[in-house]
Structure 1
Amino acid sequence: MAKDVPLIILASLALLIFALMLFGWYSRKRRQAHIGLPVAPPAGLADTDLRFTGKYVATTVAGDQLNRINVHGLGFRGNCLLEVHPDGIVVSRAGSPDLWLARSEVRGVSRATWTIDRVVENNGLQVIEWNLDGTAVDSYFRMDDPEPCERALDGVVGNERQSQ
């Protein structure tokens, strides 16, 4: 029985840590409840050849790379497909509804080296800076072929490339 005490203590500690992580996740979602739903892509959107695959990394509050947006499924990483259209960008994420980033809501396109829980080579992340229902946010992507994607985003969105 005495040999089981350390095991019980470690298991209890692990359970406590997991419970605190879960509490923190749901607390963040409650604090971000004021952020509205992302817009779905418009119906009848024309096909485009400007399609780029990669990884969706995170969406954070603009300028705060450690403040992840957790609401509306934006808190989970996964594979993605960016479709660049003249009027905006469609972000298709595995397991989540598609997002429509209208050209009028996109504030800029830039590059970054890190964001919450992800560090890559210098300027290895592409950042789309946009407004989500009045809240300025930054979405981070790790694209499979970043240069053509960046040219398409710059060309359609009409923003100057910025380094971060």
Structure 2
Amino acid sequence: MSREAAVLVMAAVAALLIVIGLVAWRRRSKRDAGLSVPVGDAPDGATTLMRSEGLYVATTRHDDALERLAIRGLAFRSRVDVTVTDRGVALDLTGQPRIFLAAGSLVSVGQATVAIDRVVERDGLVRLAWTTPEGTIVDSYLRPQDASARPPADAISPVAPATPTSPAPQQIPGSDA
């Protein structure tokens, strides 16, 4: 095979993989189109308990850290400013309207090690379980800029019930991990 033919084959394979990825993302977006986030500010009179900067990692199905949801406003990784108040948690993601998770929608808060394709040190992620306006429980994962996820989780826990930290990831049979 000539060099030019090899380049064409590689380009065709790359283009095919991109098309497959786009089709898969479109299907996921259609599947999750019925889910939304509560957009808005904290209610008047809410007391700020903590502010934290970090990375928004993903939102997944509840207790399924490997099943990303393509909810508008939470579909992609982003920098995030987290504001914890006595009435709920505000998430300010880059380029998105402010999301306010009212205390009544919060299900639990804890720490996690794994979410989607992000594996960090033990308990390095904040796992915030909450209920969408449609009534579906989902988990959002945040990676604090500080070394520990404990302070944000502790600040949220008076507003939402705490859950135990996630178990260490188990080795998949037949894997080298």
Q: After TM superposition, is the score higher than 0.5?
A: yes
Rounded to whole Å, the distance in 2 between the matches of 1:38 and 1:105 is 10
2:127 maps to 1:154: no
Match of 1:31 in 2: 31
| CA-CA distance at 1:16 after TM superposition | 0.4
Q: Is the 8 A contact 1:38 1:72 kept in 2?
A: no
| CA-CA distance at 1:32 after TM superposition | 1.0
Are residues 103 and 155 of structure 1, via their aligned partners in 2, closer, same or farther at CA, if it must alter by over 3 Å?
same
Which AA in structure 2 matches 1:162?
P
Three-state SS of the structure 1 residue aligned to 2:122 is coil
Rounded to whole Å, the distance in 2 between the matches of 1:50 and 1:75 is 25
2:29 maps to 1:63: no
Q: Is the 8 A contact 1:58 1:77 kept in 2?
A: yes
The runs of 5 or more residues in structure 1 that have no matched partner are none
Identity %: 34
Three-state SS of the structure 2 residue aligned to 1:67 is strand
Match of 1:136 in 2: 137
Matched residues, number: 163
Q: Is the 8 A contact 2:129 2:139 kept in 1?
A: yes
Q: How does 1:1-164 map to 2 (within 5 A)?
A: 2-42=2-42, 44=44, 46=46, 48=48, 50-133=50-133, 134-145=135-146, 146-157=149-160, 159-164=161-166
Three-state SS of the structure 2 residue aligned to 1:59 is strand
Q: Which has the larger share of helix?
A: 1
Rounded to whole Å, the distance in 2 between the matches of 1:36 and 1:82 is 19
Three-state SS of the structure 2 residue aligned to 1:24 is helix
Rounded to whole Å, the distance in 2 between the matches of 1:7 and 1:47 is 60
Normalised by the length of structure 2, the TM-score is 0.85
Which AA in structure 1 matches 2:158?
G
The runs of 5 or more residues in structure 2 that have no matched partner are 167-177
Q: Is the 8 A contact 1:92 1:98 kept in 2?
A: yes
Rounded to whole Å, the distance in 1 between the matches of 2:49 and 2:71 is 31
